[in-house]
Structures are given as structure tokens and as C-alpha cells.
Structure 1
Amino acid sequence: MYAEERQQAMAQLVAEHGRLSVNVLAERYDVTTETVRRDLSSLERMGLVRRVHGGAVPSDSLAVIESGLIERDQANTPQKERIARAALELLPPAGSTVLMDAGSTTNRLASLLPRDHRLVVLTHAVPVAARLAGNPQVELHLLPGRVRATTQAAVGADTVAALERLRADVVFLGSNGVTAEHGLSTPDHDEAAVKRAMVHCARQVVALADASKVGVEAPVRFASLDEVDVLVTDTGIDPADQATFAASGMEVRTA
């Protein structure tokens, strides 16, 4: 197979699978990993793929268009359900303060919170608050701010200022993307500012992100890997990514 033919096949394979590692591509095309890296560099220059740590993702994985809450909620539903259930193991002791971010997986976690475990819950997300309003063991606090239609979450200077005055035992965060190079990221600057404030006011930071988010870089970073204590994801995560994340000091749990 000529180099041009191999590169075209690689680009198509990456587009079909969403993410492929250098090792998998080298084995598939019976070439060295160095050859694969050169091929991927060529494809990236042509705008056909985007190189990430250990492999490549489709060029449109650097997402600038933010999908709506309903659309996100319908994607990877089984994985998000498993992640939310696994996150229950990270709940702090009764009487603790929990901060809950906006997102389809954090919404599921809110629905699963036990009704015999007393918690103070702070959130800026209207859907999370709606799910918790009827839980008799939750003392619910809704943060102020302008509610974005896309995420149905409060953002802005008032939200950030409120978070700067708070201290939570644990925060459960959503993320549009997770990579070793760019950390945790989201498309919107206002959302990123709120998430960053959440990270800074929590004793423990737990990110909930299914494997489709790994390898994706949204434009605005709100946390580096070393600022996150635990990533709860699904078994679809690439082992190389899992090892890289763990080497940064972040615990990775798969559900």
C-alpha cells in the first residue's frame, strides 16, 4: 500500500471510529509507530484528523458548536447511567456539602441520590435542582445568575462571586472534553468560568465524563488534570489514555 493510500484509509478509519491510537493503526497497516505518527501529521496538516496524545480523532473533534441539553442527554445513555451509579460511591458522609455542575450525567446522579442520606447540595443547574427539590434529605441551594438556554444553568459574575464565598466537600463536574494536553474543557467562556470556580471551592473534584469525551478538546479549559482528583468514565476509554491520566495523579474509575 502506497503512503497516500494508507493515509486516506487511516483518515476514513478515524472518522468512522471517532478515535484510534497510534499502536492500533500501526498494527492495522503493518507499519511502525513512527510511520503512523508521520502519516497523522500529514493528515492533520490537510485538516482530515486532529492529533491527540497517543493517537488521532476526527478534525471536527475540536468542537466549537455546543449541543443542547436534550441532545446530549440522549447520547451514550447506558454509559452515563453506569457512570452516575458509580459516582454514588464517592458521596461524602451525611451532613456534607456537595456541589453539582450542569450536565446530562450530573442530572442522572441527582436523580439517584439516596433518600436516606442527608446532604447540603449547591447547584447552578435548573434540571439538577428540579430533580432534588422533592428529596427530603437534601437541603437544596440554587446559585444565582443568568440561565443559559443551551445548558439550563446559571452563569455570569453573580454565579462566580457566589462560588468564591463557598466551600464544598466535593464537586461533581461535567465536561465537554478531556485530554492530557488541554485538561477539561467546554465551548463557552461563561460556563468555563463557573466550572473553574467550582473546582477552586471544593475539597475533592470528581469529573463525570463518558469515553466519547476523552480525546476531545473544546476551546476553553477550566481545569488541568492535576486539579481533578477522580475521573469516572466508562470502559470504552482507551487504556493508553487511562494510563496517562493516572500518571498525572488523577484516579480513573470505569463503570
Structure 2
Amino acid sequence: MLARQRQERILEAVRVHGGARVSDLVTLLNVSEMTVRRDIATLAGRGLVARVHGGATAVDGRSADEPGFLAKSAMALREKAAIAQVAAGLVEPGDSVALSAGTTTYAVAEALLGVADLTVVTNSLPVARLLHESARRDLTVVLTGGVPTPSDALVGPVAVGALRGLHVDWLFLGVHGMDEHAGLTTPNLVESDTDRALVAAARQVVVVADSSKWRIVGLSSIATLSEVDVLVTDSGLPETARRELASRVGRLAIAEVPAPPA
């Protein structure tokens, strides 16, 4: 991997999570600690990140930043996989499911390949492609249509119109951030409209979000925490946050993340 490619991955990690630890970046990039520190120093010299003890942080908290699907897909892999298994366990054969765009919902789609006889509605191009290419005869996939975003979501009036009048058993909703005051948020104004249409179409709203999303606030609100029937997150969520979320959502489900291999 070239230095420029490494630095772009580091920058995306910092933008998505608000910061990144050297140890996590070493694992993510499969390079030495010295190389990561040198790349962070380069980015800091360009004013793109701030160097801190043990890693780097964002230089600002711009609520309209929207990382791309590929950049996000490399982050929190173990957490997303654990969350996806818990989420998919809610679904029974014969159910109808909606999946919003995002890398965590993509992991849920992978886990749902083990559930028979599903109808899936999605505005995610990667999710639709994954399910379509499975070639399962007991799987019906409905893609909303719309205008693509950096996160490969189809949004806008066409997507909202396609969702209007639909009724699904489950919505698995990925979010940019979750906060006790702002609720569920996204950096994309148009995507928030489409996400709200997904919420309106669902009997049960399940938010799938790794613990790094706590206290992150995007530009536009999707829903309040009280509108969430089940929130599935990972065991990295602090105890204080668990108590706060458990008091606001219908049910809080914690996915235990296995330790990384030695």
C-alpha cells in the first residue's frame, strides 16, 4: 500500500470515529507502528488531523462530513460482524425486512443470507447487489431507486415514493451518529428524508450501530431514540452510555465482540 493510500485510510478513520489509535491503525493497515506515526505526522503537518498521545483526532467536528462506503467498510469489522449476528437473529423465515444503506446494514444483509424465505426492501446498492448475486429463489429483493450518495445510498423523491405505502416487519437502520439529545442523525439532508420514510414503513425499528457512534451528531436528525424498538450495539459501549440508551430505547441489545486473534 502506498503512503498516500495509507494516509487516506487514516484520514477516513479519524473522520468516521472522531479519532484513531495508533494500535488500531497498525492492525487496519498491516504496517509498523513507526509507519503509522510517520503518516499521522504527515497528515498533522497538512492540518488534516491533530496529533495526540497514542493516535490522532479530528481537527473539527463538521456535522456534514460524509465518508464513502469503501472507507467505512474497513472500520470496526469485528464489531459490525457481532452486531449483525445479533440483529439477524431477530428475523424469522417468511418475514419482510427493510435495510437502510451503510456498512453495518451490509453486514446484517450478509447474516440474513442464512434466513429462509425473505422479502428485502433496500435503498443500498451494495446490499441489493449482495442479495441479488446470492441467486436464492426464496429471496425477493426490492431496490427503491433514487439518486446515489457517497455512502452508496439511493435517496430523494424517487426513493421516498417507492417506500410510501410499504409495510415491513423489520427495519434495520444504520446511522452516522446517536445522541441523547439529537437522536439518530446523518450528515446527508436528503438521506435523512429517505431514512424517515423507512422508519415510517416498519413495524419494528432496529438500529444497528457500533459503539463509536455514541455522541456523534450529524447534520440532520432521522428519529428520536424513543422511536427505536431495538438498538443493537457492541460491548465496547461504556456503562454510562448503556444506562442512558437503555432508558430511552425500547430494548438495548449488546453484541459481545470476540477478542482479536493473537
- TM-score bucket of the superposed structures, by smaller chain: 0.7 to 0.9
1:117 aligns with 2:107: no
- Mapped partners of 1:65, 1:249: distance in 2: 26
Task: Name 2:168's counterpart in structure 1.
Answer: 168
Deviation of 1:131 (Å): 0.8
- Mapped partners of 2:20, 2:253: distance in 1: 23
Q: How does 1:38-187 map to 2 (within 5 A)?
A: 60-61=60-61, 63-91=63-91, 93-115=92-114, 117-133=116-132, 134=134, 135-148=136-149, 150-187=150-187
Q: TM-score, normalised by structure 1?
A: 0.74
Deviation of 1:138 (Å): 1.1
SS for the counterpart of 1:207 is strand
Task: Name 2:12's counterpart in structure 1.
Answer: none
- Mapped partners of 2:122, 2:202: distance in 1: 13
Task: Name 1:26's counterpart in structure 2.
Answer: none
- Mapped partners of 1:61, 1:238: distance in 2: 21
Q: How does 1:179-218 map to 2 (within 5 A)?
A: 179-218=179-218
Instruction: Indicate how the Cα distance of structure 1 residues 224 and 123 shifts in structure 2: closer, same or farther if over 3 A, else same.
Output: same
Task: Name 2:7's counterpart in structure 1.
Answer: none
The total of aligned residue pairs comes to 202
Question: Which amino acid in the other structure matches residue 188 of structure 2?
Answer: D
Which digits, 9 at most, give the CA deviation of each residue in 1:196-254, with x for residues without a partner? Answer: 11111100000010010011011100010011111111111121111111112431111
- Mapped partners of 1:168, 1:177: distance in 2: 24
- Mapped partners of 1:226, 1:73: distance in 2: 28
Task: Name 2:227's counterpart in structure 1.
Answer: 227
Which digits, 9 at most, give the CA deviation of each residue in 1:13-42, with x for residues without a partner? Answer: xx8789xxxxxxxxxxxxxxxxxxxxxxxx
Instruction: Indicate how the Cα distance of structure 1 residues 164 and 116 shifts in structure 2: closer, same or farther if over 3 A, else same.
Output: closer
Q: Contact conserved, 1:62 with 1:216, CA < 8 A, in 2? A: no
Instruction: Indicate how the Cα distance of structure 1 residues 241 and 16 shifts in structure 2: closer, same or farther if over 3 A, else same.
Output: same
Instruction: Indicate how the Cα distance of structure 1 residues 79 and 249 shifts in structure 2: closer, same or farther if over 3 A, else same.
Output: closer
Deviation of 1:114 (Å): 3.5
Deviates more, 1:135-144 or 1:95-104: 135-144
- Mapped partners of 1:16, 1:168: distance in 2: 37
Instruction: Indicate how the Cα distance of structure 1 residues 78 and 169 shifts in structure 2: closer, same or farther if over 3 A, else same.
Output: same
Which digits, 9 at most, give the CA deviation of each residue in 1:152-206, with x for residues without a partner? Answer: 1211101111111111111000000001100000000111001111111100000
Which digits, 9 at most, give the CA deviation of each residue in 1:48-67, with x for residues without a partner? Answer: 9xxxxxxxx97834532111
Instruction: Indicate how the Cα distance of structure 1 residues 206 and 70 shifts in structure 2: closer, same or farther if over 3 A, else same.
Output: same
Superposed CA RMSD in Å reads 2.1
Q: Contact conserved, 1:144 with 1:154, CA < 8 A, in 2? A: yes
- Mapped partners of 1:132, 1:102: distance in 2: 13
Percentage of pairs with the same residue: 33
Q: Contact conserved, 1:97 with 1:168, CA < 8 A, in 2? A: yes
- Mapped partners of 1:112, 1:240: distance in 2: 29
SS for the counterpart of 2:89 is helix
**Unmatched runs of 5 consecutive residues or more in structure 1:** 1-14, 19-47, 49-56
Question: Which amino acid in the other structure matches residue 111 of structure 1?
Answer: E
- Mapped partners of 1:123, 1:202: distance in 2: 12
Task: Name 2:47's counterpart in structure 1.
Answer: none
Deviation of 1:120 (Å): 0.5
Q: TM-score, normalised by structure 2?
A: 0.72
Q: Contact conserved, 1:183 with 1:225, CA < 8 A, in 2? A: yes
Question: Which amino acid in the other structure matches residue 99 of structure 2?
Answer: M
